[in-house]
A and B are shown apart, each in its own frame.
Chain A
Amino acid sequence: MGDSPIQPDESRHGSEPPETGDARKDSQEGALNGPQGLSENDRWEMLHDLLVGPEEARIQELEQVPRAPRAKDVGDVLAEATRRSAQEGPELAEALAPTIEQGLMSSARKNPDDLAEAIYPVLGPAIRRSIQATLSAAVETLNVTLENSFSPKGLRWRMQAWRTGRPFAEVVLLHSLAYRVEQVFWIHKETSVLLSDVSGVEDSLRDPELISGMLAAIQDFVQDSFAGADEGALEQIEVSGFRVLMAQGPKAVLAVLVRGIPPESLSQNMHETLESLHRSFADELQEFDGDVGRFERAIPDLQGLLGQGAKVSEPGGTKKGQWLIAAVALVAVLLFAVDWIQDRNMNSKRSAALMALQEAPGYSVQGQVGDGDHQTWTGFRDPLAEPWSEVCAHSTEELDVDIQWTPFVSLEPEMVQRRAEYMLQPPFGVTLTTEHGSLTLEGEASSGWVHRALARASAVPGIGRVDASGLVDIDRRAIETHARSLDGLTLPFGAGAGRLDRGQPVVQARLSALKTLDERVQEYGGGLLRLHLRATLGRMDDFERGLSDRRLVEVQKALGRLGLGATVVEVLPAPESDDSRSPLSGVRIEIDTLLPKP
């Protein structure tokens, strides 16, 4: 390329050298001997052209040809030239590609660390995009598989997907991937020193420095044993329910302690966080001298990883979680069992109460409304029935039952008996029995009670007949006994005397006894005392007969003075024969007691 501008010139000289030399000579001679009209300058000019004209033309041609580029010149225009070339077409890129590829390969072979470190910020996102694409494909496949699944849980998740507008597979993954990020460690790669850490669990007994140290040691061991000093890195460790995820950077490592099964997004977040930390702490990481106080600013970034872990569903699949679930299940079973036993006990108590009520006189349960927890019972209850506490062993509160009783009069024999006793209130000494609608009263009682009882007995519901033959009216009996004791008493008169000596003690006592008997008859109520007076004679002569009349009048007067309120006095005629003679003359009183029938 550099030779091409010279070639035409050389060919021209080469092709016509003799002719050119002759022509020049003729021309020079012509010019020197030229027309006389030319000025001296023109002639000198012509001479100049003849002498150096061809060389000048050649120099001008050479000047127009680009010189061989110098490095500085190329450097000045290379950027602009590259840009223009890229705009005009791909030729430059295609031309440079082999050279650049060779250069990269050479650089990678010589110093792979530098290259890896340089492209690390680019590599992370690129890998993530690739993983996302792969995951999306996997999710699609999973989606198709799940479309055919049919279960209650699947239906529930399908509803959630429909409600939230998310792909069904994503909902399934969200429910399946339960995890919790418990601790985050940021570890300096070179020294294995913990730069910073955060914990999502309170009172963690795990020392972050020890964990980070051991993680670093394990990583060193793994690299030495399985990969090689500069290749590969430990990405995940599983230890009894825990999973340690590690993200490797050029200067530092990010490790998270996870309980459960984390989603892929956690690893992605870790790499993003680690890249961010590398950018934010580039100088500190490069010059790290053990001062970890310079990395406290990283704590919010590390906490972000905790938060992302916590927003997904609760941890599961771990032993602790399983124990928790088992404990909850056990408690639920116990509660259910207790509830069941309580229900059973309650039902048993209620059955016993119902049975007792059905058997108890004066109760009749008609309805039972409600569930196992609370019930309402309806029915009839005789007011004279035994109270609830005497019938049932448990209160209505214990049975959790509301009672609605309607009062009624029971004709059950027990209730008839109870009602008869309630209405008649028999005193001590009286026996009251009911049987087949018959009331039997036996014993002794005052006249007042006897009268009331006999008046009320027939009003007792369920009683059709009253038998009081065995019932003794003690007041009546006392009056009759009293009357019998006085019956036939004689008020004595002195021999031949027609006047009653009321001052005589015998007379006074006997009159007083009659007065008392009269009062008792009055108290009894409705009774009558009938006194029959008959004069007793010493002889059956006229004198005696006349004397007897006076004596009868005398006694009537004396009785009249007593003020007897319930007594009727009747005078009987004197006896006609000696048979009625009495050794003691006077007036004999015979007593009839007329008491009303109850």
Chain B
Amino acid sequence: MIRKKICLLGAFAVGKSSLVRRFVHSEYDDRYMTTVGVKVEKKECQVGDHQVSLVIWDLHGEDRWQEVRASYLRGTAGALLVADGTRIESLEVMAQLRKRLLEQNPDAHVVTLVNKMDREADFAITADEWRARVDWGPVVFTSARTGHGVEDAFQSLANHW
């Protein structure tokens, strides 16, 4: 079995914990509970003929007062970078986190998510504009509320192994 550590990175309140909860437990809760530090979850994915166990580090959201600790990123094999589709400022935070991640783990695989697709009408910019702004790779649009794209996002990361 392959076992990999992956991280969820993004600004605060972009829906990282909700995405993990949707992916791991197939649940969603409307209440917002901020993550303090880190919460570790686990999910096994089938990739081809073998299984990949994802040890998911759901890290606290980054903002001007709280920066994600470098030690949490150590040894990370991959990451889901998460932005809030309704908040354009979350893109900048995501980009910063991506940069720090790759500085520390040059070989880390990254999948970029724009969350809250169920509120697409409230998006700060259109989906195409999101795609255009994220210049380092493809974007997966997700909704932790509906589950849209969540499985695909995690699976696409697991497929690297």
Contacts and interface: CB of A to CB of B under 8 A. Distances in A.
Interface of A: 188-194, 207, 209-210, 213-214, 217, 220-221, 223-224, 229, 289-293
A224 B71 contact: yes
Nearest to A213: B40
B57 interface: yes
B4, B70, B161 pick with most chain A CB within 10 angstroms? B4
A189, A214, A220, most chain B CB atoms within 10 A: A220
A294 to B, nearest CB: 10
B61 to A, nearest CB: 16
Contacts of B137: none
A221 B37 contact: yes
B69 A292 contact: no
Contacts of B76: 191
Contact of A217 (B3, B40, B77, B161): B40
B157 to A, nearest CB: 13
Contacts of B42: 207, 209-210, 213
B138 interface: no
Contacts of B161: 290
Contact of A214 (B40, B69, B75): B40
Interface string B1-17: 11111000000000000
B75 A209 contact: no
A209 B71 contact: no
B55 A220 contact: no
A221 B74 contact: no
B74 to A, nearest CB: 7
B74 A190 contact: yes
A210 B2 contact: no
B155 interface: no
Contacts of A291: 1-3
B75 A217 contact: no
Contact of B41 (A188, A194, A210, A220): A210
B5 A220 contact: no
B71 A223 contact: yes
13 contacts: A190-B74, A192-B55, A207-B42, A213-B5, A213-B40, A213-B55, A213-B57, A217-B72, A220-B72, A224-B71, A229-B70, A289-B2, A290-B2
A190 B73 CA distance: 10
Contacts of A210: 40-42, 55
Query: Which of A210, A217, A229 has the largest count of B CB atoms less than 10 A from its CB?
Result: A217
A217 B75 CA distance: 12
Closest 9 CB pairs of A and B: A191-B75, A213-B40, A220-B71, A190-B75, A217-B38, A290-B2, A209-B42, A290-B4, A292-B3
A193 B71 CA distance: 14
Contacts of A190: 74-75
A492 B56 CA distance: 146
A214 B71 CA distance: 13
A193 B69 contact: no
Contacts of A213: 5, 40, 42, 55, 57
A194 B40 contact: no
Given A209-B3, A224-B69, A290 B40 contact: no
B74 A220 contact: yes
A461 B120 CA distance: 118
Contacts of A220: 69, 71-72, 74
Contacts of A189: 75
Interface residues of B, number: 23
A214 to B, nearest CB: 5
Contacts of B70: 229
Given A209-B55, A210-B42, A290-B4, A193 B75 contact: yes
B81 to A, nearest CB: 19
Contact of A194 (B2, B3, B38, B71): B3
B75 A188 contact: yes
A215 to B, nearest CB: 9
Contacts of B71: 220-221, 223-224, 229
Contacts of A290: 2-4, 52, 77, 161
A189 B5 CA distance: 12
A188, A213, A291, A292, most chain B CB atoms within 10 A: A213
A191 B71 CA distance: 10
A189 to B, nearest CB: 8
A190 B53 CA distance: 17
B5 to A, nearest CB: 5
Interface in B104-131: none
B116 to A, nearest CB: 27
Chain A CB within 10 A, most for which of B2, B3, B76: B3
- Residue among A190, A191, A223 facing the most chain B CB atoms (10 A cut-off): A191
Contacts of B72: 217, 220
Contact of A193 (B37, B38, B41, B55): B55
Given A209-B55, A220-B72, A229-B71, A193 B40 contact: no
A191 B77 contact: yes
A74 B25 CA distance: 70
Contacts of A223: 71
A188 B70 CA distance: 17
B3 A193 contact: yes
Given A190-B75, A291-B2, 9 more contacts: A191-B75, A191-B77, A217-B37, A217-B72, A221-B37, A221-B38, A221-B69, A229-B71, A289-B2
A209 B2 CA distance: 13
B4 to A, nearest CB: 5
A189 B2 CA distance: 16
Contacts of B75: 188-193
Contacts of B52: 290
Contacts of B37: 217, 221
Nearest to A207: B42
Interface in B16-49: 37-38, 40-42
B96 to A, nearest CB: 19
A210 B25 CA distance: 14
Contact of A209 (B38, B53, B69, B74): B53
A292 B1 CA distance: 6
Contacts of A221: 37-38, 69, 71
A292 B2 contact: yes
B154 to A, nearest CB: 16
A292 B4 CA distance: 10
A191 B77 CA distance: 8
B124 to A, nearest CB: 32
Contacts of B55: 192-194, 209-210, 213
